[in-house]
Structures are given as C-alpha cells and as structure tokens.
Structure 1
Amino acid sequence: MSDMEDEVLFEVTKKHLETGLRGIPVGFCNTSAVDPTKGLCYRGLDIASLCRWQPERVMYLIFYGSEGSSEEIEKFSNDLKSRAFLSHKTKKYINALPREGTVMQILRCALGIVSMVEGCGNYKEDALNIMAKMPQLVAGSINHHAGWGQTPESNPDLSLTDNFIHLLNFPDKNSSLLSEAMRLFAVVHFDHGGGNLSAFVGKAVASGLEDMYGSLIASFSALSGLRHGSANMKSIELVKQVRALLGEKLDEKELSTLIETWLSEGCLIYGFGHAVLKVEDPRATLLYDWALQHPQISKHELIETAVFLRKNVPPLLQKKKKMSSPHPNVDAISGSVLSAASFDYPEYFTAIFALFRSVGIVSQILYEREHAREGKGTPILRPRYIPTL
C-alpha cells in the first residue's frame, strides 16, 4: 500500500456524530470543488473565469473533464440537440399528472415516466439523454403545473438556455434580457462539489445499482428541501418582505430592528451563510455584478433591496448571531435576478435549479459507477451507526 493510501485524512471522534458528515471525507470528486476562500471551480477552473462561457461549453468541461476544441463542443452540442425531444407517449403521460402538488413532485414523476418509456439502462447514455431532455422536462412540468398551456416543441437551433426560455409559456416574457440572466444562472449552478446533498444522495442511491433516472429522482427529492434547492425561493421571499416592510428608503436602523426580531423568533435569514465558504460566494458576486451592470434591471426594486441586504445583513448576523461566515451565498441574489429579468415566479426557481444542477449530478454518478476504483465503481454505501440500545 502506498504512502498516499496510508495517509490519515480525518480522525472521527464521538463529537462528529450527527453533524451531517460535515468535513468527513467519503470519496473523490473530479467534476468540481468548493474552496472556503476561492469558492467554486469546475475541473480546476474558477467560476469567474467561466462566467462568459456558453452553457454547452461548460457542460462539456464538467462531463468530459477537458475544455474541448470548438469542433468537439459543437459535436457535443449537436448530440444533445438530437436527444432533446420527448416521445408523444411520454408527453401524454406527463400532461396527465395531477397539478395539486408542487412542481418538483411533478418533475420527479416526469423523470420516472421518461425512465419507463425512454430509459436505456446505460449510465452514460441515460446521462446524456437526461442533460438533453431536462429543458423540455422542466419547462413541461412548469407549464403543466401553472396551467400555461401546451409546451412547444424543442427548438434545436437555440442554445440550451434559450431553448428552455422558448419552451416556457409564461406571460410578459422579456426573452433578450432573460437569455443572458438564464445563461449565467445555469453556469453558476451546474455543480457544487461532491458533498452537496443532492449529489451525495444520488450517488448513494446509485451505489445500490439503481439506474440514472431513479438516482436523479432521489437527488431531486433531496434538492427540494428548504435547506438546499428551495432556499432560493425562500431568499426572494425575504427580499420581497424587506421591501414591503421598509419601503423605498431601505433604512439601516429599521433593518437592524427587523433582523433582530426575526432572529428572536427563530427565523432563518435565507441567502446568508454557507457550510463551506468563509467569504461572499463568488457565484453571488458574479450575479450582483451582472445585475448592477444592466440598466434595465439595476434600479429594479428587488435588485436594489438585494444589494442593500448584501451590505447590511452580514454585520448584523455577525453581531447578533455570532456567525463566523454570514456572507451572501448565491441564493441571496439569484432569484432576484430571474425575477427582475421577467421570470417572477419564485415557486418554480427550485425546478430551474434542478434543471442545471442535474449536469453535475449525473456526471458525478457516472464517475462513481463506471470510473472510480479503476473502473470497478464504488461499492454500495454502508456507513456505520453506533447503537444506543
């Protein structure tokens, strides 16, 4: 056994139990990493250097592990476009789903339908098909849940994010502004390290040799929770509530009183703090900068309020809650950007998050099933629990 294999990575003591596996190494992740001070990187490239890339180029980087030539990226993009269509039978079953639940419940059912009707049982092929079909699946689930009518056919002449906007039937669409906002939203949400809950759960389920679709359904169940993918929805509720209570003047003293009241009532201040980061989330920084550089939305009341909170909430949390890392995370601004760019439907933000995060999840599942341990794949997950009987 080599010295590297003998290296002690972490010492587990009793105090580490029931702490959410925070900091405890369980495997390798080659798609992305989150550094406490530098933030997110994909395949070794920091997110700031990728923020102007087209989504398909970033997807190629994450999925294949290299930047790719223009010819390789074009071939990859064309392959996804050829796979992007859902069968008539699949769409018929999805449109028959009840609307009473949440859109994430519909999306999970829709994934199950695609698995039954169109799945092939090959991890790589199913991963490529999922990445290609997710815009239509998510748009179709949103349109169905909202009652926005029949989802249009996928348009292979458009980019992944523009095609998704094309597939959404919401009223008062500003396609040109939303196009750039959605592109940036996609790029910063594709992946976020190996230990984020949705990726971890998907890999855990796949370790039992469940197929790619079933594993992703489990991932989306994890992502639906308020501590994970639904935090963006709660964050924009916070922004709107602050605006309604403080009005246009956005007084710092009034905010301090408001935050103190919410904290005393046990309320969470969504959009601030992070399990890993010790600085402002670089993804949030990119979105703040983008919003402030666009005159069409820089004066929008949601953007103004989000920027006001960016400046004033961290010191309040540091003082009143003794938080060591009270800085804005991506959820503090992402929803406000989508809303200001004409998609003001927070109840669907989690589904959009799921659309883009699926890229990282299926890439990580594929690695663990077909490449880890020199191609043998990881064994079934079986952690030890200490009996208390």
Structure 2
Amino acid sequence: MNLLAKLPTIAATIYRHLYRDGSSVGVIDSNKDWSANFCQMLGYDDPLFVELMRLYLVIHSDHEGGNVSAHTSHLVGSALSDPYLSFSAAMAGLAGPLHGLANQEVLVFLTKLVGDIGHNYTEKQLREWVWNHLKSGQVVPGYGHAVLRKTDPRYTCQREFALKHLPNDPLFKLVSNLYKITPDVLLEQGKAKNPWPNVDAHSGVLLQHFGMTEMSYYTVLFGVSRALGCLSQLIWARGMGLPLERPKSHSTEGLMKLAKAAKSSNTQQ
C-alpha cells in the first residue's frame, strides 16, 4: 500500500520535470480517488480524461502471469524479495521495447499510414496499404496476442469509451476502419494465429486525443497501472505459500533431439 500510494506522485513528478515547468505536483486531495489525484498531479483536470485514466489504470494492471513484467514480479517475489524489489524487476522488464513500447509503435504506424494516404481514404485504399505494408515484411502493430484468440476485451472497452466520447476523432476513425479490414487481411495472409486487435491498438490514440502526446511517457503510465496487479498478486502468492519458481531447462543433447524432431516433421510435411 505504501508503494501504491507513492507511485502516482513519483510518476507525476517525472512528467512535470520532463514535459512541463518542473513545478510541484501539489497536495493529495483526500476527496478524490487514486486516478483523479494522479490526473490532478499530472496537470489534467478534464473529467473525461480522469474517467479515461480510471479505465486505463484498471485494464493495464494485470493480464495473467505470462507477460514479461507480471511474470518477472512473480519470479522475484517467489524468492521472498520485498515488494519494492519485485516491482523494480517488473519495471526492468517493462522497459524492454518488445513489451513496453507497443502502443507507441501503433501511433508511429498510424502516423505513417496517414502520411501516405491521408484521412480521406477509401476502404480499398486502406486495405491495399495494409497489404503492401505486410508484403514489405512488416507487421501490423496492435494486432495479435500470445494467448487470446479473439478481440482483446481491453481493446473493446476502450473502443466503447471512444464511441461514446470521441466518435469523430480522426485517429479513432482510422483505428475503427483498421478494425474492419485488418483481421480479414491477416487471415487471408495466413500467418497470424490471432488476427484481432489487442489493448495496444487503441490506448495511445485515446491519450493523444486528450493532449497527452508525450509518447515516451506512456510506458511510465503502464508501469503505474501494472503496480496494481503485480503487488496484489504478490500478496496472493505469499498468502498461498507459493514456492520458489524454478523453470525447467534443456541440455544441449535435449535441444538437439528437439531440433531433429522438428526437422523430421517438416520433411514429412
């Protein structure tokens, strides 16, 4: 609880020093909730942005234990390290670009798309652009998931928020139109196990709409949110007396056997 109480202040101080005038984050308002106080410290007072932040912080807090940041906190915590060390380890994992930069990569992708075809595009133009993008050896960021095989519910709730509060935002319209055509294109391509959008396909667009355009800060927001899940899971792990994690490993001989089996299987196909 001590760490959760301090994180918004730390994160807001970083934001104000990097992107604002470096002024104090002010005093905590006991009449406001965790998210509202965080927004106030960041310097945002739009009620809709506060509502968005509540949504964002909840849906990014935990997503089963297999992703890098959540699993790292479980792993370090299983050694009975304290919550500060466990969460710090999780943030080291989140700092990796394959984990923590996903929604930023979506915005870069959308910016390039708009630069190529503008906002007044047809569905055919959009489909052709996505196809050409894939044929160049690139991926569509924000689509696919290691576990899910349907549209990410976290994407859906962000979409519902946008439909209600910013239906005419140009980038949201682009995200919506991509949602219409991209899954079919990915299925037609035949490589994607899950052609549906994930949480990162939407979150950056919402933050941009409300004026938080500093993309390099998005990972910090993710980290504040992830603390809710990681730290509560740490309490559960201690309460259930879960053992020290020790993943299985393979010897060189074992790896060679796996490689030979895979080669044989490919030959038979």
TM-score (norm 1): 0.61
User: Which of 230, 246, 262 in structure 2 is aligned with 1:382?
Assistant: 246
User: Which of 157, 162, 166 in structure 2 is aligned with 1:286?
Assistant: 157
Matched with 1:259 is: 130
Q: Alignment identity in percent?
A: 32
User: Which of 130, 139, 163 in structure 1 is aligned with 2:37?
Assistant: 163
Deviation at 1:202, TM superposition (A): 1.0
Work out the CA distance in 2 between the residues paired with 1:236 and 1:166.
25
Contact 1:178–1:343 under 8 Å retained in 2: no
Long gaps (5+) in structure 1: 1-127
Work out the CA distance in 2 between the residues paired with 1:262 and 1:148.
40
Aligned partner of 2:246: which letter?
A: R
Greater mean deviation of Cα atoms: 145-154 or 228-237: 145-154
Contact 1:151–1:168 under 8 Å retained in 2: no
Work out the CA distance in 2 between the residues paired with 1:174 and 1:356.
19
Work out the CA distance in 2 between the residues paired with 1:190 and 1:305.
27
Higher helix share: 2
Q: Please report the RMSD computed on the Cα atoms of aligned residues, expressed in angstroms.
A: 1.9
Work out the CA distance in 2 between the residues paired with 1:378 and 1:264.
47
Work out the CA distance in 2 between the residues paired with 1:250 and 1:222.
39
The reply on whether 1:141 has 2:10 as its aligned counterpart is no
Long gaps (5+) in structure 2: 254-269
Work out the CA distance in 2 between the residues paired with 1:179 and 1:304.
22
TM-score (norm 2): 0.86
Aligned partner of 1:131: which letter?
A: L
Contact 2:158–2:202 under 8 Å retained in 1: yes
Deviation at 1:307, TM superposition (A): 0.9
Work out the CA distance in 2 between the residues paired with 1:225 and 1:253.
36
Contact 1:155–1:163 under 8 Å retained in 2: yes
Work out the CA distance in 2 between the residues paired with 1:174 and 1:233.
24
User: Which of 305, 311, 316 in structure 1 is aligned with 2:185?
Assistant: 316
Deviation at 1:225, TM superposition (A): 2.4
Count of residue pairs brought into register by the alignment = 252
Aligned pairs (5 A) from 1:1-389: 128-153=1-26, 154-169=28-43, 173=44, 175-294=46-165, 297-368=166-237, 370-373=238-241, 377-379=242-244, 381-388=245-252
Deviation at 1:357, TM superposition (A): 1.4
Which protein has greater RCO, CA pairs closer than 8 Å, 6+ apart?
Answer: 2
Q: Which whole-Å deviations, capped at 9, do the CAs of 1:83-128 have from their partners, x for residues lacking one?
A: xxxxxxxxxxxxxxxxxxxxxxxxxxxxxxxxxxxxxxxxxxxxx1
Q: Which whole-Å deviations, capped at 9, do the CAs of 1:180-218 have from their partners, x for residues lacking one?
A: 211211222221112222111111112233221111111
Deviation at 1:136, TM superposition (A): 0.8
Q: Which whole-Å deviations, capped at 9, do the CAs of 1:145-167 have from their partners, x for residues lacking one?
A: 33531232233332211111111
Instruction: Show structure 1 runs of 4+ deviating over 4 A.
Output: none
Partner SS state of residue 240, structure 2: coil
Partner SS state of residue 151, structure 1: coil
Contact 1:139–1:151 under 8 Å retained in 2: no
Q: Which whole-Å deviations, capped at 9, do the CAs of 1:233-254 have from their partners, x for residues lacking one?
A: 1112222222222212232333
Contact 1:178–1:342 under 8 Å retained in 2: no
Partner SS state of residue 293, structure 1: helix
Aligned partner of 2:163: which letter?
A: L
Work out the CA distance in 1 between the residues paired with 2:4 and 2:190.
41
